Every structure is written in C-alpha cells, then in structure tokens.
Structure 1
Amino acid sequence: MDIAVGRTFQILAHSPFPGNSINRVAFSRSNSKWLVNKNSTLHRHRVVVVRAQDRPTWLPGLDPPSYLDGTLAGDYGFDPLGLGEDPESLKWYVQAELVHARFAMAGVAGILVTDLLRVTGISNLPVWYEAGATKFGFANTTTLFIVQLLLMGFVETKRYMDFRSPGSQAKEGSFFGLEAALEGLEPGYPGGPLLNPLGLAKDIKNAHEWKLKEIKNGRLAMVAMLGIFVQANVTHVGPIDNLIHHLSNPWHTTIIQTLVKSSS
C-alpha cells in the first residue's frame, strides 16, 4: 500500500491477488485510527511510500494559510494575526519587512563596528545609544536633522511611488538623469552599478536564493537589534562590553544572572 502524508492521509491498498481492484480509504488528520477496507490484506502489501510535506513551515506539521502559497521569499506560513489576508496589504507588508530588514542589518553592522573601535581604543567614539547626542563641529544638530529629513523623505517617496507604479521611477528624466545608473529591477530591488556594484542577482525574477538569504539575514538582524536595545537598557553598556564581560566568566555571567541582578 502507498501512504501519502500531507494535509490529509490516504491509504492506497494494493491487493496481492490478481483481478482484485485497488481499495482506497482516505481520512483526515483528526482520525486517530487507520481505516482500512475490510477486503484488503495489510501484511501482504507490496510497498509503503511515505511522502512528507515538501514545503517547510515555521512550525512542523502546520498548515500554512491559503494566501501564503510559498512563492514569497522566506514564506514559511507564519502569519498568526492574519495580516496578509488582503493581497494589497500583503504586498506592502512584504516591502515594509524588506526595508526594515535592510535597516536592521546596517544598524547591527554599524553598532558592532563602532563599538569595537571604541572598546579597542582605535577611535574615540561614543557608545551607540549616545551617538545621537554628539555635537559635530561641521554642522549643528538642527541642520543635520533637516538635511537627513529631506534626504530620507526623498528616498522614501521615490520608493513608495515605485511601489504604487512599478517602473515609473526608472523612466528617463525621473531622477536627474541617473536612471541608468540605478537600473531598477522590481519594487524593493533596485540595481545598477550604484546599488548592485557586484552584479549579483541581475535576473531578479529568478533570484530566489539571493532573496531568501537576504530576508533570512534581515530577520536575524531585526531580532539582534531588539536584543541590543534590551541589553543596553539593562546593562547600560555596548554589545562588545557585554561580550567581554560574559567571556570573562561565562558560567556566572549570563542573561539569567544579569536580569536577576537588574530586577533586584
């Protein structure tokens, strides 16, 4: 008999006697008993083939929602709140997650590198959560804030316009004549020598592996950023200082002891 395991179980019993028809019995996951046609002979079956569900999910054995069909990069059927039921909302959430993932990767890299330079004494840099209060000699804080607001606002506006009308921001004259240098591929994936200098994933439609790697690393970076925020709030030092403190006494300097000391 062949046993297919997926959203439902199905037994295809092969009779060992010629002339007998194949008996089929299907049952759902909720049924705890093997239902077998009374005319079949279990101990004389020919072969048993067990086929597991091909698509991986965030929780093994979970049935993913119907609107998450596995075509999106990093889709493991995780949507406990049902936020992606509306197709238009799902498209925006995908872009929002992608942008947050990229910011998180840049943030984690920036925090770790600057913290390493500070701890080793190579550069006199402030700890990352005090960097915003640093005074720069070449411009005052108000000027820097306004410049950042204008630049970020411009970039985010262009990104939103390209999301609403894919390809519209790559038209000639839409970006000071630099459209060819950016060479937008699809919403969320600009390219060209400026944003894709190594020429990776030129065929973005079929770059499933690259997209998957990026979103996996991005999700990990978002979790790391959350950990860095909590860590700074509890210990009041940077991540490199925390790492050195832990390595100095790894069995007695852990997250559990740290949280207990901070609450007492």
Structure 2
Amino acid sequence: MEIAAARGLQILVNSGSSPFARKSINRAAFGKKTNWLLKNGSTLRCHRVVVKAQGRPTWLPGLDPPPYLDGTLAGDFGFDPLGLGEDPESLKWYVQAELVHARFAMAGVAGILVTDLLRVTGISNLPVWFEAGATKFDFASTRTLLVVQLLLMGFVETKRYMDFRNPGSQAKEGSFFGLEAALEGLEPGYPGGPLLNPLGLAKDIKNAHEWKLKEIKNGRLAMVAMLGIFVQANVTHVGPVDNLIQHLSDPWHTTIIQTLAGSDS
C-alpha cells in the first residue's frame, strides 16, 4: 500500500538566503523517515514522496500477516484465519497438500469441461461427468478398475510421502525400477525428468518463484471452480456447459439467483 506524502507541496527557497538551503531535512512519515534535500534555486517543488506502509500484499489490504507467514512461500498472502500454519512441520505438510489438491482440481476442471463440451456438441457419446462413475466398461469390471486404481494411486502417494519425509530418497538408484533418471525430482512436490517435465520448465526450482506463484494461483481458482461445479450439478442436475448455454439463451432471466430460487420451490 502506498501513501503519498507531501503531495502538491511547494517549498520556496531563496538561494543563499535560507538557512535550510543545501541541507537534509528528515521528516517522519507514518513511522518512517523521509529524506528531503533542498537544492539551490529560487523555487523548489517538492516531488511526491511515496512511503511503503506494508512490505508485501495481503489477502486483506492493511492486514498484518501472521509472523510465521513471512512471504517466502509461493502464493503466501497471509491468509490463515484458523492459525493452522503455526507449527512449522504442519505448515510444510499443508503446503504440499494444497499443491496436490490444486493440481487435481485443475485436471478435474479441464476433464469435466472438455468431456461436457464433447457430449453437448454430439462429437462423442459421453455421460455427464457426475454419472461417469456408473459407466460399465467391456474390458474390465468396476471392481477390477477400483482395485487397480487403489494400487497405483497408493503406490504413487506412498512414494510422494516418503520423498516428503526424506527429500531425495526416492531418486536414489534402484528405488524405482531403474527409471529414477527419467523421474528425477526437483524438490518435494515438484517432480521433474523428461517424463514429468518434458518441456524443461523451472529447472532451477529454487528460483522459480514466478512459476510456483502462477501454478498455485491457477490451482486455487480451479478448486473454487470445482466447488461451483459440484453445487451447480446438485442444484440443476446438468453439466456446466448445459448451464452456460441456458444462461446465454436468456441471460436476464436465467441466472444463479433464479436457479437457486427455483430449486427451493
């Protein structure tokens, strides 16, 4: 937050006649000192003095962030109303948990929108996303798919947890069927290698602050979007693309207000 001090102020100084000429004058501005240097000349217009009242942006302007959120984490805007991050060890785990949930949400939103668009346009005969779990496949039964998914995801999540507890332990030779070089991790939560980072983005993960910030911002937006998709599916019983088409067909009368009001009746 920037505070403009001494805006539009004019100081008239006569060269050689004023005892304050060529001297440094300190003025306290909101707890910080502002240094003005009066140079020679008959008229000196004071430029706008900008004082940084707060070192970094927060989720609520003017709010002092908790001391344990010092801005070093990606996407840290001082938001922790429940104080969950006071314990440093717990904070590390919450950071990893948010990152994983953000990535799942981004994948989920993309999958729902793409399949819903294919279904509505008639390109593919796909079920609406909240009925996809009941679809029967010819190549395997639902029970078989469930067991395979539990085994695969359990293995991956176990490896991720072990790497979180002991960073770098899962990249040692012989820890993953000889594929360690293709899956080399950059740091906990950020896998790399040609398989998981084919474009070679953010190879210097320690200094990839901008990439981390973009990812977590998009991930948080995706989590909010998933919540909205869940709510609209429960209220309207159709997919998000169907809702969008209904709204565009009559934008003044088909809104969230009318939809929620109609669901109560």
**Superposition TM-score, scaled by structure 2 size:** 0.84
1:54 deviates by 3.7
Q: Describe how 1:52-201 pairs up with structure 2 within 5 A.
A: 52=52, 53-201=54-202
CA distance in 2, matches of 1:260, 1:17: 74
Match of 1:13 in 2: none
Q: Deviations over 1:189-244 (max 9, x none)?
A: 00011000111111111010100000000000000000000000000000000000
Letter aligned with residue 49 of structure 1: V
CA distance in 1, matches of 2:172, 2:181: 9
CA distance in 2, matches of 1:237, 1:227: 13
Letter aligned with residue 73 of structure 2: L
CA distance in 2, matches of 1:87, 1:17: 56
Q: Describe how 1:191-230 pairs up with structure 2 within 5 A.
A: 191-230=192-231
1:183 deviates by 1.1
1:76 deviates by 0.5
Match of 2:50 in 1: 50
TM superposition outliers: structure 1 runs of 4+ over 3 Å = 16-28, 44-48
CA distance in 2, matches of 1:56, 1:63: 10
1:45 deviates by 11
Letter aligned with residue 243 of structure 1: L
How many residue pairs get matched?
240
- Aligned-partner SS, 1:56: coil
Q: Deviations over 1:95-154 (max 9, x none)?
A: 000000000000000000000111111111110000011110100011000000000000
> Are the aligned partners of 2:184 and 2:193 in contact in 1 as well (CA < 8 Å)?
yes
1:182 deviates by 0.6
Letter aligned with residue 142 of structure 2: T
Letter aligned with residue 167 of structure 1: G
- Aligned-partner SS, 1:66: coil
1:50 deviates by 2.6
Distance 1:47 1:119, change over 3 A: closer
Match of 1:40 in 2: none
CA distance in 1, matches of 2:105, 2:173: 32
Distance 1:46 1:240, change over 3 A: closer
**Superposition TM-score, scaled by structure 1 size:** 0.84
Q: Which one has a larger percent strand, Structure 1 or Structure 2? A: 2
Question: Which consecutive residues of structure 1, in runs of 5 or more, have no partner in the other structure?
Answer: 10-15, 29-43
Letter aligned with residue 244 of structure 2: L
CA distance in 1, matches of 2:200, 2:64: 38
1:48 deviates by 5.7
> Are the aligned partners of 2:29 and 2:51 in contact in 1 as well (CA < 8 Å)?
no
RMSD: 2.4
CA distance in 1, matches of 2:153, 2:197: 20
Question: Which consecutive residues of structure 2, in runs of 5 or more, have no partner in the other structure?
Answer: 6-17, 32-43
- Aligned-partner SS, 1:50: strand
Distance 1:262 1:174, change over 3 A: same
